Chains A and B, each alone.
Chain A
Amino acid sequence: MNTLYSLRDVTVHYGGRTVLAVDALDVQRGEALAVVGPSGAGKSTLLRLLNFLQPPTTGEVRFDDLVFSAACTATLAMRRRVTTVFQRPMLLRRSVEANVAYGLRLRGQRDCAAAIRTTLAEVGLAERAHQPARTLSGGEAQRVALARAMVLRPDALLLDEPTANLDPYNVGLIEQIVARLNRDHGTTIVLVTHNIHQARRLAHRVLFLLDGRKIEVADTHSFFESPADPRTGAFVRGEMVY
């Protein structure tokens, strides 16, 4: 593995308040990193930063050899190497097929029917290709959102609570797809989740954020079995009141 993301002395401020402050964090190429923490811990802000949608107030994010900072904005080519699946699928008012094709079309790719078919089959929605996307159930819609991201074959796939409010069947299905993507295609995964069991199932390492600060990052086994910080232990055991 080699380093894909390297964050150094990164802070993000909103209206004079520091919502994220990470002194150092590396994400290795091909790893699955789960980000856990209570609401307002800065998890989603971290994802926006990693997708270059929001610049850091101070510090820098290195992505391969490219720098992203307040002074150095991300190029379109850089942004197109990463994508995010959010908690809400946010599908466009088009067919399932057109939604999955959307990112490819943004990149000027016209002949992408085979890739769309394959990806829809991977998420179990091949037969829904021509259906209006907004008529799908919540779980199906989220799988379309996942397919729309997967078809781009990004270096890093960022997932912001992708299975929140979904039924167990769809949660299981999405977890399988994400695990396969990481294992078979080597896609780097950064998964924000409130579900620590999901983090345990999917991640190689887990990062715990609290009040915008990095409290601990460790391999999954150590994180859950022998956390170094007492606050991590309290969070894992469900004893943290917030």
Chain B
Amino acid sequence: MIGGFHEALTLISGGDSQLLEIVLLSLRVSGIALAISTLIGLPFGALLGLTRFRGRRLSVALVYTGMAFPPVVIGLFVYLLLSRSGVLGSLGLPWLPKLFTPEAMILAQVIIAFPLVTGFTMAAVQGVDPALRLQVQALGASRWQTTWATLNEARVGVIAAVVAGFGGIISEVGAVMLVGGNIAGQTRVLTTAIVLETNKGNFGLALALGVILLCIAFIANVIMLHLQGRSFDE
């Protein structure tokens, strides 16, 4: 482990271009996937948590199922959809991501992160006292303003939802391996690189990559704690 840290520091300080490429691609793929998941998952989680509509129970059941779904199965699902003989791939739609591209990896990661962000957001807004929503409405809030106020009050939980989504995809390997193919310089990210280097017996390098991945996760959690800490203080 110490050797791994040492090698990680050597690689980072040496400005290894290949390593930088892998780290940046990991951050780009997971960052975009998280942004999309958050943009869809936050409002959908708020909708599930704050309203009652036909099909809500089924939606909640699907979200919970999605939260526990093995990423590698999602990877397989996306692979089968996007492959040339697949349901969508065979249509040849120009805007559809191609297999073994970062875009296909983003799609798979969105499907992984979306239920996590939605489910935790739903739980967070449900934890807000309904009397507070009534108070906000009594102060003259519109429906959107009430929803925003509720999300804002639940922000400690909402931030945790976003971080859970990030944690779910930055550390995921099965889906990105399947739909990305781990192509050097194109779709190789930290997790797939770790698998490759381990298989090649380069344990030191694999460990170094693992340490970098851990550092990214650690920084993300520090940011989360900082934001949550500010919320607690207010």
Name A residues whose Cβ lies closer than 8 Å to a Cβ of B. Answer: 48, 51, 53, 76, 79-80, 83-84, 86, 88, 90, 92-95, 102-103, 106-107, 132, 148-149, 152, 158
Contacts and interface: CB of A to CB of B under 8 A. Distances in A.
29 contacts: A48-B134, A51-B138, A76-B142, A79-B137, A79-B140, A80-B140, A83-B138, A84-B135, A84-B138, A86-B134, A86-B138, A88-B131, A90-B131, A90-B132, A92-B149, A93-B152, A93-B231, A93-B234, A103-B140, A106-B141, A106-B142, A106-B145, A132-B233, A132-B234, A148-B139, A149-B139, A152-B139, A152-B140, A158-B138
Given A90-B129, A92-B132, 15 more contacts: A53-B137, A76-B140, A84-B138, A86-B135, A90-B131, A90-B134, A90-B135, A92-B153, A93-B231, A103-B140, A106-B141, A106-B145, A107-B140, A132-B233, A152-B140
B141 A93 contact: no
Interface size grouping (class) on chain B: 10 to 19
Contacts of B140: 76, 79-80, 83, 103, 106-107, 152
A148 B140 CA distance: 12
A72 B145 CA distance: 22
A76 B149 CA distance: 17
Contacts of A102: 139
Contacts of A148: 139
Contact of A106 (B129, B134, B139, B234): B139
Q: Closest 10 CB pairs between A and B?
A: A80-B140, A90-B135, A84-B138, A103-B139, A90-B132, A106-B140, A93-B234, A51-B138, A106-B141, A83-B138
A95 B139 contact: no
Contacts of A107: 140
B139 A83 contact: yes
A93 B154 CA distance: 10
Max chain B CB contacts within 10 Å: which of A48, A103, A106? A106
A102 B140 CA distance: 10
A152 B135 CA distance: 14
Contacts of A106: 139-142, 145
Contacts of A103: 139-140
A120 to B, nearest CB: 17
Interface in B40-86: none
Interface string B148-164: 01001100000000000
Contacts of B135: 84, 86, 90
A165 to B, nearest CB: 15
Interface string B83-107: 0000000000000000000000000
